[in-house]
Amino acid sequence: MATWVLSECGLKPLPPVFPRPRTGVVLFNPSKFQPRGYTSCSFGERNWGLKVSAPLSIASPIEGEQEKFDPSAPPPFKLADVRAAIPKHCWVKDPWKSMSYVVRDVIVVIGLAAAAAFLNNWLVWPLYWAAQGTMFWALFVLGHDCGHGSFSNDPNLNSVVGHLLHSSILVPYHGWRISHRTHHQNHGHVENDESWHPLPEKIFRSLDNVTRTLRFKVPFPMLAYPVYLWSRSPGKTGSHFDPSSELFVPSERKDVITSTVSWTAMVALLVGLGFVMGPIQLLKLYGVPYVIFVMWLDLVTYLHHHGHEDKLPWYRGQEWNYLRGGLTTIDRDYGLINNIHHDIGTHVIHHLFPQIPHYHLIEATEAAKPVFGKYYREPKKSAPFPFHLIGDLVRSLRKDHFVSDTGDIVYYQTDPELSDSSKSN
């Protein structure tokens, strides 16, 4: 015991009398096993009260017991550490390669529509709707890359391609691009995040029954995107089509007008096509695939921030920063759809570094995993089609309802009444 008293006071400990044990016996470490009320001493101030060391401890952990990982704890690495781990070529944007994906997707979209119109068979239409709706979603992802500037280094090229792709599926390119930028800049923040952010309890309790149903009961949340474009989420105001909306600053109003005009032109084109081919044929060729696209968009964007087996934190105030917010995003595996929708399921790296082109996301993620450690959550391996994600979606909507009005680190809580009614339906 004398050797420990001396060493605690900063003096060189006496050499041990016995040789180092070769079994599970571990020499006592006073920094880990200090009795309650114990104060270590120093040369300037000594406190000899309750200076009783514990006996030698034997390393005998309970089988299966592990120290629980706290996902809200500040990570032991910085954003620069993650950036440094990613190979330099992953940051290179190749406009020709990006355009090749656009050409590929457009050819598939036109081919599917032509084949469905030619066959015009009710055995074919459901297959067409599923395939074409998925391809509309793929077009959206490419336009999304234009919005981030990961499509190319040419802002004019990004704007032209982004408008063509997004307007074709009734998305206001600049209006959405700006709000999505806000989402990335504030990911994981309770109040400042833009898409699928949690509702503070006070706002949740103020919702009428219809709004609660539309937000938390399948399939209604999977049809939310057009509503979001017009009026945003509960607790927020503004429209993606209105240049004077609080979503935008005055310098962005011309861009928003341009996107709204492009969107309106696409609506006019669809109305004209309705007169030419008939509204039923237009509904079959475009209307139903558009609904499938909206469902893809809502499913993917929701599950990138919700529905993990372990509860993930949301932040406010001083606890939030860009890195910690980004680490609460979730990667998802979509099986065969991964390639079709341009690996957007590789979402953590995308959220931290949206400048990386989609065709480098997988390699960048693999390079960053050793830095992330437990802060990276390996996605469940998907079958060819990701039907397993429907279960994740339903479970999350049943229990992830609101967060506390106070606290800088909060987790989703469940409204028992809403949860019970969801199970009964």
Task: List, in order, residues 6 or more apart from 258 with CB less than 8 Å away.
Answer: 163, 174
Choose among 376, 364, 366, 327: nearest CA to 91.
364
DSSP classification of residue 197: P
CA distance 70 to 310: 10
Q: How many CB atoms lie within 10 A of CB 361?
A: 23
CA distance 252 to 240: 12
CA distance 125 to 288: 10
The pair of structure tokens assigned to 402 is 């609101």
Task: List, in order, residues 6 or more apart from 87 with CB less than 8 Å away.
Answer: 363, 364, 367
According to the model, what pLDDT value does residue 43 have?
A: 36
CA distance 222 to 292: 9
pLDDT less than 70: residues of the chain: 1-66, 419-425
Which helix H or strand E contains 106, and what residues bound it? Answer: helix 95-119
β-strand pairing of 409-410 with 314-315: antiparallel
According to the model, what pLDDT value does residue 68 have?
A: 86
Q: What is the pLDDT of residues 284-334, one digit of tens each?
A: 999 999 999 999 999 999 999 999 999 999 999 999 999 999 999 999 999
According to the model, what pLDDT value does residue 234 have?
A: 80
Scored b (16 or more CB within 10 A) or e, 249-262 reads eeebeebbebbbeb
Q: Please classify residue 88 by burial: count the beta carbons closer than 10 Å to its beta carbon, then call 0-12 exposed, 13-18 middle and 19+ buried.
A: exposed
Phi, psi of 60 (to 5 degrees): -140, 70
Three-state DSSP class for residue 124: coil
The pair of structure tokens assigned to 374 is 């437990």
Task: List, in order, residues 6 or more apart from 105 with CB less than 8 Å away.
Answer: 135, 138, 139, 142
CA distances, 288 to each of 126, 134, 285 (Å) = 9, 11, 7
CA distance 384 to 314: 32
CA distance 342 to 350: 12
CA distance 359 to 331: 15
Per the listing, tokens 């993606």 go with 240
According to the model, what pLDDT value does residue 420 have?
A: 65
Alpha carbon 374 to its chain's center:
17
CA distance 11 to 341: 64
Q: Say if residues 204 and 389 touch (Cβ distance below 8 Å).
A: no
DSSP classification of residue 55: P
Q: What is the pLDDT of residues 340-356, one digit of tens each?
A: 999 999 999 999 999 99
